[in-house]
Amino acid sequence: MTDLTNLTLSATLKGLENKEFSSVDVTKAYLQKMEDLRRLNAFITETPEHALEMAKASDEHRAKGIAGKLEGAPIAIKDMFCTKGIRTTAASKILSNFVPEFEATTTERLWQAGAVCLGKTNTDEFAMGSSTITSYFGVTHNPHDETRVPGGSSGGSAAAVAAHMCAAATGTETGGSIRHPASFCQISGFKPTYGRCSRYGVVAYASSLDEPGVLARTIEDCAHMIEPMMGYDPKDSTCSKREVPDLVGALDKNIKGMKIGIPKEYTELVPDNWEPALQFLKEQGAELIDVDMPHTEEAGMVYYVISQGEATTNLARYDGARYGVRVEGKTLDEMYMNTRMEGFGQEVRNRMILGTFFTSAKGYNDYFVPAQKMRSLIKQDFDKAFEKVDVLFSPAVPIKPFTIEEAKHGAAKGRFNDNYLMPSCLTGVPAGCANNGLQVIGRMWDDATVLKVLDVVEMMK
């Protein structure tokens, strides 16, 4: 029998449908792989027993002919999604003992579609980082070179997908946290339009930026994964009532006549496959048009001010009073200080302090308000570009993964690390990274076209 973990999600679903193997078979294969590659530290919590129970139930569903869209497919969940009865840590000591009594809307929908939960994947603490080195549960290694980081913050999910420890995984983006590790681990990643996926039950980092999304081996797999996660949820006031389009059906591999914008600010540094990719798109019948995105450079600063400002209040609830880790003190204030000093890692504490400053009476007017204004200008860049073109095309992260040592010495602060990713996070437009490191960004709500173009990009040899 072939190794079932070598199948893409799409192939796994076909195999299950054709009864070539059962969900229990494929789940066992993944659990074995997880055990074999535990040294990569992709998972914070493995749930093998739970996975086998779900797989058995899935096989019964299939037998009864009531299979959901992801029936029997073993997947991994970034440990930012609250899972009922399964420890959810956000990779932080402060939540290291937290078991939610409720389920995130997006994961609930995945289980309803029949997916099987293998475990919870590692991330930077509270998703703050792009190397998966700030986790309380240790560093995750890049499966392609274990001395290097997998990117982040969804590095555990990316490593698990790349090392075939799951068929697909969920991720979250705030400032590039899906596309960045997808690029570093040579897999596909997609974050839909802000408002497509409910944030209910997702541990908040920066509410106006946080977007649940997916990582998988191909864009087609991403489309299979993301479709059931999307759609209106009355529990999230920022979630859209728009109907969910047929995303898998949109992948018709035809981009003839499509206008693809190349933002010149995103091509300052490009990877080796960049020129061939442009050539390939032209061959596919697309028209390439140069566009200007003049406020790209400012996106990084804007991102830091807004994300840290929001994060500092979102994380205020972790005070040791009601759940999570508590470190006692003589007074209430002392208990807060002890709990938060010990419960949060250095990176989170740094961002809390900066965020507190950015939202202080003085910082608000000097930084937060100007950042919001600049955010509007960045959005205008996109609006203007999309008057001329259907999608934007560029490298995702034009640099090679840095080593764990380099990451510990601030390599992630380099300017080419995430400056092609952040503008699209600030504007909420849909964006994805193909498994060859190239990204496509689309108009608000036009998630289908982004996936369709990415699917073609992945056809390139």
Residues lying near another protein in the complex (CB under 8 A) are found at 81-82, 88, 90, 95, 98, 100-102, 104, 199-204, 206-208, 234-238, 309-310, 313, 315-319, 321-323, 332-333, 336, 356, 359-361, 364, 368
Task: Give CA separation, 361 vs 67, 272, 305, 365, in Å.
Answer: 55, 47, 14, 7
C-beta of 30 vs 367, nearer to another protein? 367
Query: Please, which residue, 88 or 427, has the CB nearer to another protein?
Result: 88
Least separation in angstroms between CB 359 and another protein: 4
Q: How far is the CB of 156 from another protein (least distance, A)?
A: 18
Q: Are 394 and 453 in contact (CB under 8 A)?
A: no
Q: How far is CA 423 from CA 19, 138, 249, 253, 311, in A?
A: 45, 30, 28, 27, 18
| CB-nearer residue toward another protein: 360 or 380 | 360
Cβ-contact 148, 179 below 8 angstroms = no
We find the least distance from the C-beta atom of residue 86 to another protein, in angstroms, to be 13
In a 13 Å sphere around the CA of 145, the CA atoms on its Cβ side amount to 11
Q: Which is nearer to another protein, 137 or 318 (CB)?
A: 318
Q: Shortest approach of another protein to residue 332 CB, angstroms?
A: 6
Q: Which residues are known to be catalytic?
A: 78, 153, 177
CA distance 141 to 130: 13
134 vs 151: CA distance, rounded Å: 11
Q: How far is the CB of 324 from another protein (least distance, A)?
A: 9
User: What is the CB-side half-sphere exposure of residue 263 using CA atoms within 13 A?
Assistant: 30
CB of 83: closest distance to another protein in angstroms? 10
Residue 129 parent element (H or E): none
Q: In what order do the strands lie in the sheet with 43-46?
A: 43-46, 116-121, 74-78, 168-173, 211-216, 188-191, 431-433, 438-442, 391-395, 259-263, 287-291
Give the rounded distance of the alpha carbon of 11 from its chain centre.
22
- Closest CB 306 distance from another protein, rounded Å: 9
321 phi and psi angles, rounded to 5 deg:
-80, -40
Phi/psi-derived region of residue 226, left when phi > 0, alpha when psi is between -120 and 50, beta in every other case: alpha
Nearer to another protein (CB atom), residue 223 or residue 425:
425
Query: Looking at beta carbons only, is 117 or 281 nearer to another protein?
Result: 117
Cβ atoms of 212 and 197 closer than 8 Å: yes
Contacting residues for 249 by C-beta, under 8 A, at least 6 apart: none
Instruction: Between 43 and 336, name the residue whose CB sits nearer to another protein.
Output: 336
Would you state the structure tokens that stand for residue 413, as one six-digit string? 């602060």
**DSSP, res 413:** G
CA gap 7, 114 in Å, rounded:
18
Consecutive H or E run containing 395: strand 391-395
CB of 270 to another protein, least distance (A): 34
Q: Which two tokens stand for residue 250?
A: 């949109």
- Closest CB to another protein among 94 and 168? 94
